[in-house]
Structure 1
Amino acid sequence: MTLTYGDIKHAADRIAGHIRPVVTAPVDPATIPTRNNEPCHVWLALEHMQHTGSFKARGAHNFLAAHQDEGTLPDAGVTIASGGNAGLACAWAARRLGVPATVFLPETAPAVKVSKLRGYGADVRLTGTEYAEALAACQDFAATTGALASHAYDHPLIAAGAGTLLDEIHQQLPGLDTVVVAVGGGGLFAGIATAAQHRGVHVVAVEPENCRALAAALQAGHPVDVTVDSVAADSLGARRISRTALEAAQHGDVTSILVPDAAITSARQALWDHRRLAVEHAAGTALAALTTSAYTPAGGETIAVVLCGANTNPSDLIAT
């Protein structure tokens, strides 16, 4: 299904007053190399401060609110197989709307994730030892009970909710030229790229070298399975990009960039060292595009780098 800017405007109306508007903060231009050695203007979009610690809250609320508005939200509520950001966002949005949420996880899931999900009021079902078994149980639960099955990224309502972030950034930075965003399964990217095309904003899509679902799909001309092996795989480890994301990349002003794990780790550490921001490796992935010169901006270019999530273990951030 094609995602449109109208979908994003509808999403913005649904989530207004329910999510935290993004905050932007400037970066010292001297730290970013440019093509002609003239300074550029770089801002961090602090979306890691969003409810549940990631941008996923936007799509989750839009998904459930749209079904509630249309009268298609069943009494059995919503279900999802995810112990990560998508599961947390789904449980949070369900609680806000007074909807039951059933979240499936493998029995090996960390206790801290289970506790956090239950804190949002979710009915947590531990099934099997691998994610695939939890997903199968989730699908069976949806078929048996009639619960609405949600997805981490591959749904137009999820992507549209994520895309509202670009309009908020553009409102604060009306001269925005470029937005830099990390790509996993493609929900955030698809939404941002769709809104960016409407606004005439260039998108830099950044992936780890060994989690390149979008880059591989662009090369093949269609989604393909890829190997997942990166320090950022917990957030960006989708084996296949969504068709919606690929379509957005093919029709928008998009540059696909790959960065090594060492650069991701370094960028994440720099955010802690210089700003005391503890973010996921996915957020470090976006910033690494600039710190490694994988993307070298022009002098005077106004750029926003999306820091997409904060659900990380900060114990590996070295104090300085």
Structure 2
Amino acid sequence: MLTADDIKAAHARIAGHVRRTPTLALGPETFGLGLPLAMKLEYLQVTGTFKARGAFNTLLGAAMPAAGVCAASGGNHGIAVAHAAATLGIRARIFVPEISSPAKIARIRETGAELVVGGARYFDALAACEAYAAESGAYSVHAYNAFPTMAGQGTVGLEWEEDAVGGLDTVLVAVGGGGLISGIARWFDGRVKVVGVEPEGSRALAAALAAGGPVDVDVNSVAADSLGARNVLEHVYAVASRHVDSVVLVPDEAILEAQRRLWLHLRVAAEPGGAAALAALVAGRYRPAPGERVGVLACGANVDLAGLAALV
């Protein structure tokens, strides 16, 4: 199981390769919500998302074979693994589905990694990646269902707790496969309420918690390229079912509106998945109690700028 010591060790291990992203105290006028927020600006992370934390923790914490590493991704995990591999001098092959955004595909190519595009959804790319790993002996870096990945992502929570002025009562965290929220929730370990935010059309964690175990779901959301996991799988469920307090579902319209407000109020160019946590407040799917100290994670900025320009 994942422990707080694993997360502390990951924080020390990756310190020379990732950024300690700031936590910004926002007044109640921000976003037109009428409440102050402690927003962790993780979109400022190297590679544009939190994924670099788990990627570096995995690659630095294991012996790498001559065949290098491989990873399946909707885009952001692939960017992170490719960047970490290039930094550490490791060969990488990245598998992405056809729904991955051109902006994310371009960033993977810029790292020099081998890129394979194929399949309709993330799990199609994962099947191809696993077949390649079995054939070649490459080390497969899972996007979320692995304890080293979760430990790396949990360092977001460690920093957030240390840096939030006045403390935190609740944090809102976007959920795709669940590696990020599992790591964060394990770090907080009940000291802070952790609420997952999933698109209505991509609810793998909510479905797993309702069913009492991982189940497959259909995926159809504007945020599918980053929050489009069909199943949270066993390791994520083991951690999330113990430490995540609740999950709320948000419509795509609220995600797009959150993207728009992030740009208009903070000039943050967030991708849909990176805006999903804020969408829970925009849509009223999470309603804080009076005086509740709420944190929101802005977790990704690998956005198609043409699409964002049309939105705002």
The TM-score with structure 2 as length reference comes to 0.90
Amino acid at match of 1:9: K
Q: What is residue 227 of structure 2 aligned with on the other side?
A: 236
Amino acid at match of 2:221: S
Whether the aligned pair in 1 keeps the contact of 2:122 and 2:229 (CA below 8 Å) is no
CA shift for structure 1 position 269: 0.6
Q: Structure 2 residue aligned with 1:65, among 41, 48, 60?
A: 60
Q: State the SS of the aligned residue for 1:185.
A: coil
Is 1:53 equivalent to 2:48 in the alignment? yes
Q: After superposition, what is the alpha-carbon deviation per residue over 1:198-247, rounded to whole angstroms, capped at 9, x for unaligned?
A: 6x011011111121111111111111111111111111111111333333
Q: What is residue 262 of structure 1 aligned with on the other side?
A: 253
Query: 1:180-191 maps to which residues of 2 (within 5 A)?
Result: 180-191=172-183
Whether the aligned pair in 1 keeps the contact of 2:101 and 2:225 (CA below 8 Å) is no
Is 1:29 equivalent to 2:20 in the alignment? no
CA shift for structure 1 position 110: 6.4
Distance in 1 (CA, whole Å) between partners of 2:224 and 2:117 is 22
Q: What is residue 222 of structure 1 aligned with on the other side?
A: 213
Is the alpha carbon distance of 1:297 and 1:133 closer, same or farther for their aligned partners in structure 2, counting shifts above 3 Å?
closer
Gaps of 5+ in 2: none
CA shift for structure 1 position 310: 0.6
Distance in 1 (CA, whole Å) between partners of 2:102 and 2:252 is 27
The TM-score with structure 1 as length reference comes to 0.88
Is 1:16 equivalent to 2:7 in the alignment? no
Query: 1:161-172 maps to which residues of 2 (within 5 A)?
Result: 161-172=152-163
CA-based RMSD of the aligned residues comes to: 2.5
Aligned length: 310
CA shift for structure 1 position 250: 2.6
Whether the aligned pair in 2 keeps the contact of 1:41 and 1:300 (CA below 8 Å) is no
Distance in 1 (CA, whole Å) between partners of 2:193 and 2:152 is 20
Segment of structure 1 superposing worse, 298-307 or 115-124: 115-124
Whether the aligned pair in 1 keeps the contact of 2:74 and 2:99 (CA below 8 Å) is no
CA shift for structure 1 position 298: 2.1
Gaps of 5+ in 1: none
Q: Structure 2 residue aligned with 1:152, among 127, 135, 143?
A: 143
CA shift for structure 1 position 297: 1.3
Q: What is residue 88 of structure 1 aligned with on the other side?
A: 79
Q: State the SS of the aligned residue for 2:130.
A: helix
Whether the aligned pair in 1 keeps the contact of 2:103 and 2:304 (CA below 8 Å) is no
Whether the aligned pair in 2 keeps the contact of 1:40 and 1:298 (CA below 8 Å) is no
Distance in 2 (CA, whole Å) between partners of 1:315 and 1:288 is 21
- Residue identity over aligned pairs, in percent, reads 48
Q: Structure 2 residue aligned with 1:175, among 164, 167, 170?
A: 167
Distance in 2 (CA, whole Å) between partners of 1:83 and 1:236 is 8
Q: What is residue 202 of structure 1 aligned with on the other side?
A: 193
Determine which structure has more spread, i.e. the larger CA radius of gyration.
1
Distance in 2 (CA, whole Å) between partners of 1:162 and 1:229 is 25
